[in-house]
Amino acid sequence: MSGVPHHLARWTGLAGSTLLAVAAFLGGALPGSPLRPTPVSIWQGPRGPLVIAAWLVGTALMAGAWWALRERVPSTRWALVTVGLWLLPLLIAPPLESRDVYAYACQGASYAAGINPYEQGVSALPCPWLDTISYIWRDTPAPYGPLFVVLSGAVVKATGSLTAAIVVFRLIAVAGVALTAVSLPVLARRAGVPAGRAVWLALACPLVAVHLVSGAHNDALMVGLLVAGLAVIASRPGRTGPLLAGGVLLGLAAAIKVTALVVVPFAALAAIVGGYSVRALIRHGGWVVGGAVAVVAGVTFAAGLDFGWVGGLARGGDVIAWTSPSTAVGQTVGYLAVPFGGHVDALPATRGIGMAVLALLLVWLWWRARTREPLWHAALALAATVALAPLYHPWYWIWPLAVLAATARRTGWFTVVALISSFLVLPDGTGLPRFTKSVGAPLMTLLVIVLVIWLVRSARAARQPVATD
């Protein structure tokens, strides 16, 4: 599709979005849909082939149109108008590819009733909409930050019904996408990247329409606040007021999802005017770090909560899917042991190694960013965090995608990840990795091996002395 005219790509993507909306109405993540379906049961269910066909063709059309224009967007305005058109059908459709919005409503109901969602699951109330949530998440603490817990409680208290709550959660998600749309061109210009291309890569990706808008994921608000914070800091380095404001925005993002804290040390580097020094880091970066930390702590205690979301984050490991490289390696080790009569649970070890590698990699990236582009390294830090975590959901890739779109000179590898991720979840929220682990885990492990070999060879080549005549 590299030679597709701009107008044809626009209407092709809109046709894809419309088909996805049809799939949502016919077989999306509806409140009354089965909680433990399989791809076979979906296919054999009412209108199953039509639902699968609408989802597959719709995703392919959107993804193809997005991919075709990734390097030749006519203008920022054209990109924004096209994204708006693509979002319209899914804005009025039922939730697609995720049931998380029902968990938001139940956690909000718990908080509104005076229950700490970090200490008890939603079954403790019990939530009036408990039957809409997957069994695995009914007794687990909320993994979200205190600001989103407060927002969820306010939404449920103001609406009083599941349908109205979903509408408000979706409006909050749209506000997050709009904030990203406003902030992204500012960040891209500061990084020397075409603003139109950045908007297109970050917002026209099918992951945004499906998971942020239709699925109403709170990642939309987190990403919007994160990009806004980085844009404010990058546009006014060295100035106390903007740096503090940028830190506050990053703190608000972390109070939605704590992952946003990963970028704060890099934002502190971006705040420096002139060359790096410890004194400059403290003088300028201190405002960013201080603003972010103060907001997270302040919101937590103002809400009458604690830092129990840490326990909720740990429960994410209950889901086992090969889309996480460290999980895939652990699964593959277990498979290789079976022919020899062994039953090895290597997941704790491989996941632990993954987190250790992540910690070292984040430190190395920050150290490297002192004399290089800190915003680009912030994007790499987010990408590493998503890749090395024990659990990967497709919408997680939107975190680094937004910052990479505004800072990366080349668009290949991270757009490929987004493209593949767009096809990993069926309309009703059934994740395909659950049913393809015997194939997916070894393939992901092979990819990890290839990447490690490539990195080692690249490091050795970089250390070789340059030949001179």
Residue whose pair of structure tokens reads 């939107």 in the numeric block:
398
pLDDT of 2 reads 52
Q: Which residues pair with 431 in a beta bridge?
A: 425
Distances (CA, A) of 256 to 1, 173, 433: 38, 12, 27
Q: How many CB atoms lie within 10 A of CB 219?
A: 27
* Ranges under pLDDT 70 in the chain: 1-4, 311-312, 314-317, 465-469
CA atoms within 13 A on the CB side of 450: 6
Tell me the C-alpha distance between 181 and 190, whole Å. 15
pLDDT of 134 reads 82
Tell me the C-alpha distance between 319 and 277, whole Å. 43
pTM for the whole structure: 0.94
pLDDT of 312 reads 67
pLDDT of 316 reads 67
The answer to whether the CB of 264 falls within 8 A of the CB of 390 is no
Helix or strand or coil: residue 70?
Answer: coil
pLDDT of 465 reads 65
Q: Which helix (H) or strand (E) is 215 found in, with range?
A: none
Side chain identity at 124, as an amino acid letter?
A
Helix or strand or coil: residue 431?
Answer: strand
Residue whose pair of structure tokens reads 């704790």 in the numeric block:
348
Q: What is the dihedral of CA 65, 67, 72, 76, to 10 degrees?
A: 70
What's the token pair of residue 283? 């003088």
36, burial (CB in 10 Å: exposed 0-12, middle 13-18, buried 19+): exposed
pLDDT of 192 reads 92
Is the backbone of residue 140 left (phi > 0), alpha (psi -120 to 50) or beta? beta
Q: How many CB atoms lie within 10 A of CB 316?
A: 15
